[in-house]
Structures are given as C-alpha cells and as structure tokens.
Amino acid sequence: MFCKTLAAAGLLASLAITAVHAATAPTISVSGSKFFYSNGTQYYMKGIAYQLTEADPLIDTEQCQRDADLMSTLGANAIRVYHVDPSGDHDGCMSAFAGAGIYLLVDLDTFTTAIDPTNTSWNQTQYNAFAKVMDAFASYTNTLGFFVGNEVIALANQSLAAPYVKAATRDMKAYRSSKGYRDFPIGYSAADIAELRPMLQNYLACGTNSSETIDMFGLNAYEWCGNNDMETSGYDTLNTYAEGYNIPIFFSETGCNTVPPRTFEDQSAIFGSAMNDIWSGAIIYEWIEETNNYGLISYGPTVAATAVASGVQAGISRTGTPTPVSPDFTNLQSQWATLNPTGVASSAYSPSLTAPACPSSTSGGWLVDGNVKLPSLGQTLATGTSTAAVSSTGSATGSAATPSATGKKSSANGGKEIAGMSAGLLAVMLGFMYWL
C-alpha cells in the first residue's frame, strides 16, 4: 500500500512539473500608447521588482512557483528582473509565472555591459551580451519586453549618453527583426530627474524613423509619499508631460517608503480616471525585504551580515516560503483588488498619435540639440564632449558640470527618491544595493 501511495505521489509530482513547464500565456503587444493582450483587451501593468540576489532569479523553479503563487494572491501580473544569466535554464520559472498570468520585463544589460554615462560607448561586446539575453527570453509567450538600460542617465548633466541609449535600441530592434522574433517592445527605464523632464522621454521617442526609437518608456518615480494627491505629489506634472505621448508609458519603479507604513495610495491615481488613459500601470519596488525596507515579503528573519548559511546573503534569507510583510503587502493587495480599469478594446482603438518633437538643448540641463545622428556600433563619446551640448550637426556647444555618477549599472535600487531633494543629490545618496 505504501509503495502504491508513493508511486501515486511521484506520478502527481511528475504531472505537476510537466504542467509547470507547459504553461503559456497570451502574448502582449503595443499599439499606439497602449499594451494589448492578443484577445484585444487592454493590459495594465501591476508589477513587482523581482531581484532576489545578484544572481539570476529565474532559474530556481520551485522558488519561482512559490513566489508566483503569492504574487497571484497579491494581484500582480508582471515582474521586472534587472539582470539574468542568458545561459541558464529559465523554462520552469517562466512557465510558473505564465501559469499565474505574470509577464516579464527584463533588462538586457549587465553590470559589465551597461551603457556608462561617464565613459560612454556602444560596442560589439555590449551588443553581443544584449543579444544573448534577448535570445534567452524571446520564445516565452509571457515575455512582455526588454529594457536597453536602467537609469543610465542618473544626473542632469549626463544627457549626452541618450544617443547611445537610442543607438542600442536601434540595433536591438534590428536584431529582433533579423531573428524573426515577435515585436515585443524594447524600451528604457529612466531616473526621475526634474531638470530633464520631459526632454529625455521625448528624445527617446522622437524622430521620423521608428526603427531608432524606443517602443515603451518606464519612469522610476518615488514622488508620492504617504497621504498625498495629484498636485502635492507632482503626479499632475508627470501626467501633463505624458499626455499625447505616442508609446506606452508606465512607472517602472514606484513605492515611496519615507512615510511608513506604505499605503500605496498612488495606485488609485495611476489606475483611476485621472491617469489610466495615459499611463499603463506601475511596478512596485520590491518583492524581497532587505535593509532598505522596500520589501513586500520576507523569506526569514534577518541574521548577522557575516552569517554563513544556505540561501542567506548579507544577512538576508533569499529563498524559502515567502511571508507577507505587514501591513505593506495587505495594503497593496487591497489597493489593487479595487483597481481594474477596462481601458479600450484594440478593435475600437485607432490612435492618431505622432512622435514628439526632438527637444533642443537647454542651459544647464538637456544637452542634446535636436535629432542628432546616432552613434554607430563601436563608437565612443569623444573626450571633452561630456561637458557640452551636442547639436544635430555633431558639433559641441555650451558647457555643463562634469558628470559625477559612478557609472555602475543602477540595477534594482532604482531612484527611490525622497521628496524635496534634487535628483543629483539623490543619485549620490541612494547608491546601490548591497552587492554593488
């Protein structure tokens, strides 16, 4: 009897694993400024930043299944992952998330291949690394899209790196076409820098050649802290800048924690009538609780940073059964449960949007003047131009302060901006997560 029971349990486990690996999801595509499921229903992103460690979080099927189950309870339908190993086996995790109706946004760059605003280039090594990540995830139906960079431009005087972001976009879109992949969007995730609004978002989408422009724009914004509203948070300004934007725009990181506990009141604005016709949702920072206190779940109690144990890094348990962090998890769950905009059906949507004008340079702010010629593969930003505005003819004009960012990949710590502080100061103060 015991043997029969054991055999039956083994069969059920085998069937469960097979089911996990077989899970698929309807694809999502872009039309105008909106995302749509393949059945024509508009897709609004309710996402979670999911980077458990420096390592690839999408190779441990059992962990992904546990997390996907709880994310489904939370109401999430997307995750954002900042760095992956393209040589890893992602089938189990991608199927686990697909089975829960959860889609993936993943950064193409790594710590060593990210575009560096202080030593700016777009070269063959970067191209090859980006292509490998795209190859690794192109076949999954729940791959929503890719970012060519996260907060490459982290200070107001680093905007000369923007043409290199755009060049990476151009070449990755061409690679996507050459491989016959479906047209999943390729975009950029930006730091919220007041001096560059709305120039950066407009520049990346401007021009008559759509093969050179981003397909979606994500903003890492932490302006809505505590009991705010559209005006006091500054969301009304963000809304104004985004109105009429010709591609999907969404919050690629949000969830201010300077006024605990987090009540996520900004979600009612993002998914409500004030914003849901313009914005396509938000990604909450972040899934795992770390020392920065942004986590929605915990895998276990914090231990000494020097402790050596399986699944523990820097004193944080990074595997196991996810336990909601109270009250933040429940607060977000309660918000999302009541926020379900229907949007518009793709069959009834006939956008007449046009690309924004390429912005002119501004004194002490945006340094790219108009629709400049993009760098070619292998080109490096000329020495000395990092302090000057570049015109559409390629000549340098004006001056600005020397960039002071570290140049490391921003990775999962994003902006997490503190209201009232300048973006430049914040970029220095906030730094990077423990592994950088």
Q: Catalytic amino acids?
A: 151, 253
* Residue 262 DSSP label: P
Give the β-pairing of 379-380 and 316-317: unpaired
* Cβ neighbours for 100, distance < 8 A, ≥ 6 positions apart: 68, 69, 71, 72
What tokens does 285 get? Answer: 């920072």
CB-based contact 22:95 (threshold 8 Å): yes
E-only strand ranges, 151-215: 186-191
What is the rounded distance in angstroms from the CA atom of residue 171 to the CA atom of residue 157? 25
What is the rounded distance in angstroms from the CA atom of residue 206 to the CA atom of residue 212? 9
Q: Give the containing element (helix H, strand E) for 252.
A: strand 249-254
Of the candidates 86, 94, 89, the one whose C-alpha atom is nearest the C-alpha of residue 68 is 94
CB-based contact 359:199 (threshold 8 Å): yes
Angle, alpha carbons 226-231-237 (nearest 5°): 115
What is the rounded distance in angstroms from the CA atom of residue 378 to the CA atom of residue 394? 17
Q: How many CA atoms lie within 13 A of 79 on its CB side?
A: 29
* Cβ neighbours for 277, distance < 8 A, ≥ 6 positions apart: none
Of the candidates 316, 314, 333, the one whose C-alpha atom is nearest the C-alpha of residue 324 is 333
Distance from first CA to last CA of the chain, Å, rounded?
54
Residue 418 burial (CB count, 10 A): 16
- Output the CA–CA distances (angstroms, integers) from residue 145 to 69, 95, 137, 218, in the order listed: 22, 16, 9, 12
Question: What is the total residue count of the chain?
Answer: 436
CB-based contact 135:404 (threshold 8 Å): no
> Which of helix, strand or coil describes residue 324?
strand
Q: Is the dihedral of CA 30, 33, 35, 36 positive or negative?
A: negative
- Amino acid present at 45: M
What is the rounded distance in angstroms from the CA atom of residue 42 to the CA atom of residue 29? 10
